[in-house]
Amino acid sequence: MQSHITFNRPYLIGTEFDRMQDAVGGLVIAEGGTFTTRCERCLERIMGAPHVLLTSSCTHALEMSALLLDLKPGDEVVMPTFTFVSTANAYALRGARPVFADIRPDTMNLDEGLLSDRLSPRTRAIVVVHYAGVSCEMDEIGRIAEDAGVTLIEDNAHGLLGAYRGKQLGTFGAMSTQSFHETKNLTCGKGGALVLNDSEVFERARNIRNKGTNRDQFFGGQVDKYTWVDLGSSYMPPDILSAFLLCQLEGRVHIQQKRRKVWERYRLELSDWACSEGVQQPTVPDYVEQAYHMFYLLLPTAADRTRFIAHLSAHGIQAVFHYVPLHLSPMGERFGANLGDCPIAEDVSARLVRLPFFTGMSEGEQAFILKTIQQFSCG
């Protein structure tokens, strides 16, 4: 093995540890410190969103969105089958049934043309995921949600800093969720945010985040003692991690430029090989500004993918498959889903491979990956 290139590697701006030291020096390292507030103001500015609440993860932000919906057993939440488990768990934990919709064969996003068929009188929300940071068809999906009178939510774990027809991803739904896990574009190890585009639920969301108490209002002087007022949990991020995150938020332009360069080089230098081998590269519609979250390839067959991953692995390069469709999981089956429900996702998930893609990839590393890929033949 000549080298070892993992599929992800966290990237540091360089000021993160100094900022964490500042947090420790300020003696607030748990909840409610100034770095958390500064990250929230920064995200509100970047996204043009009225309210952002930092959370301990995107999973937790999704759980908060489920609590805000006041879901009852029997309610349904429609989402793409091709997503991370957290999208479904959040609503299932509240007793709702996740209903899985198929994806488009070009962008891997929820197929808006199939969405109406998945709605029922019990549908309470539609959750979209902007796969790989490429926007879903938000005009059409927004119209469908509005006509059906259901809440639109964006699981925007991949899409931060991307846009659809000039509008930032994460600002289309009544709520959206962000992730700052180490595998995402901007990170603090583990963290997230709930973006509220509807101001009415802001106070309630703050209480839910703070164990269901009105502690935030108490510190703001709006109430004279704090108490248990709602369901909630421990969803606040520790300020010591917000200090780390603030550096990444401030360095976002630099980070995105580097990611864009790596992405464009993959796209350009693999195009001849992909064309001759029948490999499909990512589709990015021209009215979409993508967030450069990942670079994937669709191999012609599942067997090609198995051989491709083994070929890269033999050269010390870690490429990974992505998302076992949720409707095929044991939990998906428990919610009534069956093989054949989402044929595009079933086909794609067997053939898709994620290449190593991270902010700090060197030109030499990428050249080595490209050369190794070009040595591979399908069929």
Ligand X SMILES: *Cc1c(COP(=O)(O)O)cnc(C)c1O
Distance of closest approach, residue 225 Cβ to ligand X, in angstroms:
33
Measured distance CA(53)–CA(39) in Å, rounded: 9
Answer yes or no whether residue 357 interacts with ligand X by CB under 6 A.
no
Answer yes or no whether residue 181 interacts with ligand X by CB under 6 A.
yes
Considering beta carbons, is residue 129 or 298 the nearer one to ligand X? 129
Among 98, 192, 237, 332, binds ligand X (CB under 6 A): 192
DSSP label at 133?
G
- Write the interaction track for ligand X spanning residues 149-168; mark x where CB under 6 A is met and - where it is not: ------x-xx----------
Helices 202-209 and 58-68 cross at an angle (nearest 10°) of 130
Distance of closest approach, residue 152 Cβ to ligand X, in angstroms:
16
Measured distance CA(193)–CA(87) in Å, rounded: 14
Structure tokens given for 307: 């051989």
Considering beta carbons, is residue 13 or 79 the nearer one to ligand X? 79
Among 135, 179, 207, 210, binds ligand X (CB under 6 A): 179
Measured distance CA(93)–CA(39) in Å, rounded: 28
Q: Whole-angstrom distance between the N-terminal and C-terminal Cα of the chain?
A: 25
The amino acid sitting at 60 is H
Number of residues that bind ligand X (CB under 6 A): 14
Answer yes or no whether residue 86 interacts with ligand X by CB under 6 A.
yes
Measured distance CA(193)–CA(50) in Å, rounded: 13
Considering beta carbons, is residue 86 or 242 the nearer one to ligand X? 86
Answer yes or no whether residue 214 interacts with ligand X by CB under 6 A.
no
* Beta-bridge partners for 82: none
Among 81, 87, 197, 207, binds ligand X (CB under 6 A): 87
Answer yes or no whether residue 129 interacts with ligand X by CB under 6 A.
yes
Answer yes or no whether residue 213 interacts with ligand X by CB under 6 A.
no
Answer yes or no whether residue 81 interacts with ligand X by CB under 6 A.
no
Structure tokens given for 280: 């499909």
List binders of ligand X among 37-76 (CB under 6 A): 57-59
Measured distance CA(318)–CA(377) in Å, rounded: 18
Angle at 133 between CA 127 and CA 135, to 5 degrees: 60
Residues engaged in binding ligand X (CB under 6 A): 57-59, 83-84, 86-87, 129, 155, 157-158, 179, 181, 192
